[in-house]
Structure 1
Amino acid sequence: MTKSLSVAIIGAGMGGLASAAALRRIGTKVTVYEQAAQFSRLGAGIQIGCNAMKVLRGLGLEQRLRQQSFYPRSWNNRDWRTGEVKFDMIFGEAAEQKFGAPYLLAHRGDLHAALASAVPPDCVKQDHKLVGLDETGAGVRLTFANGATAVADAVVAADGVHSIAKDIMFGASSLNYTGRIAYRTTFPAALLNGYKIDDCTKWWGEDRHIVIYYVKPDRSEVYFVTSQPEPDFKIESWSAKGDVRELRTAFEGFDRQVETVLAACPDVHKWALVDRDSLDRWSLGNVTLLGDSCHPMTPYMAQGAAMAIEDAAVLSRCLAGVDRDGVANAFRRFEASRKPRTSLVQQTSRTNTWLKDKTDTDWVYAYDAWTTPLAA
């Protein structure tokens, strides 16, 4: 009987947990190493596209997410001042029938918790910050800042845009600071005092935009995220606080719905928007990168987490039935299967034109990571 492959996953974010859940489906022994001592529930929303929902369905999470998330009529794109509709991307039942899965708007913490529920707690080791990777005759040896070590047949590094594994494998490289910043927050819809907002709207300004939507099925919580120029701000942290008064000033004159939401919002987070150029390669021997560690992108298509979740499904298909000697080839196949798509999404997102006018969305939302042909 073939010995079950052992895989160490670096990072317990969306991509890491999705990979762990997908690999466990094929009988792989998985351990996830997370540098944070505990998970925190960030005040952020997330759009779960039909393409990502197909993967989450395969992981047994669809019903849970439907119950916790908002099911929008559309993603409506409007002029910043007049409110004139530029393009109304219809979702709801019509898109679900067309693309084979729903489009949901969720609290990021709810999606993360759902993915965590698909991985047994004893498979996740927190307070393990990676500091070393070495290929040995016994497998890949991992060293952590707390002094712990581990050996696995293969390593999947899903440790984000600031990937330590990437730096170890290929050397440090600089981030692309876009010269733009984002404000974001979630807050109780009760603070709107009965004022009703649209399901999901993006207001397009001349050099800035704001996206506002509900993240709960009962419309009890509102989320917004912005993008605007601020070239000198370079704090890339999801926990850094912003000044809500500066935010309101930056969006003065926008449609009444925008000004009403910003007037009700109690506080905000602020961070610099970054991405990286596509890497020449993702893997080295029996170690591969996944998600933001190899293809981080701007948030303008709402596809960053979706790409990592798709990665997880395709990776599990490439590793199915593979022993340790076949891992390097499986990782090359994974990259060849995924890189054309993730590179295109990176490039498309960077232009920030997605859905601004009538847009062909089929290539994004119709994709099914469980069935798409793998590279030879």
Structure 2
Amino acid sequence: MPMHAAATLAAPRAPLTVTEVETPAPATDEVLVRVRAAAINPVDWVIQGTGRITYRWLRTPAVLGSDIAGEVIAVGADVTRFRVGQRVFGLATGTDRGRDPLREGAFQHSSILLERLTAPTPESLTDAEAAVFPLGLSTAACALFQPQHLGLRMPGTPASAAAPEVVVVWGGSTSVGMNAIQLARAAGYTVVSTASAKNAEAVSALGAEAVVDHGSPSAVADMVAAVGGRPVAGAVALGAGSTDACLDVLSRAGGTRLAMASTPVSLDSLAGGRHLFPAMLPVFTRIGLATVRSSLRARRLGIHAGFVWGSSLRDDEMGPRLWRETVPRMLADGSLRPAPSPLVVGDGLEAVQGALDRQRAGVSAQKVVVRL
């Protein structure tokens, strides 16, 4: 059996170490990719630091990471869209329940991608730029287009002749937010968003009609004013405190659907702490109470609210439509561009643990990337 190098999580809460693992053969609907760049998402250090509680199904050793860019080195029997040597990027789902975390993780030299969650990399993009897309783009698409969330029409679907509805994106400078703005605009919606003053110009450049300072005491009122009485298709809540803020906006502006893509309390101190127990008890108690409070409030207001799982598109019709049709078309016509911009922090598998630590320490309007 051929082998390759991987940055593996040998045990829960252990630092990543470079080891040799078996190189898998692709199944009929898969491609095997030589990974050239991998991006870091908060979920990676959450799994590493709190996986005993948050990802109890995940067995170790495991390879983490969702965002892959590289070139195809083998294709499954039913794959016709890709050829060996072609540059691609896609979403790895190895840490999901029922998946194989050694076959599908991003932090290794060779990884499996499902054909239906993979797109060709245009010549205009570097691997580092392509790697910023997969999880942020997929999560944004789930929030906007899945029927259980906002249920909006996808890009390429004819819009009605009526005035465009407004989509509220609270947290526009996040990875999910930047992609949500671009997808919603391409689908014909007007977007109003939030960002810090530092990032407002970047968020506006992606297509937000108005950008409100989320730190302002009048942020909710400013957002309602930006909506301006127009019909609201729904809101996407990103970042601590965003759920309650979005409920305030929707209750005053008339919207009835909310997609939540963040925990109400950050897990960074818990994930990076020396001990998980008993420090987890007050943190998860706060998360549980905040979630129940927000859910009850949404129900009282008549707002449908649900949490988004970014890789759930793997098992519905939207995933193939997004990755096979929408993403290539938007990249070709320039309506989708890599955002946030890649922040390359190192080269090689030995740099991955430092990259996770860098992401957990905080980045703004950038996505941490390691070149492999």
Higher RCO (C-alpha 8 Å, min separation 6): 1
Q: TM-score, normalised by structure 1?
A: 0.25
Structure 2 length normalisation: TM-score?
0.25
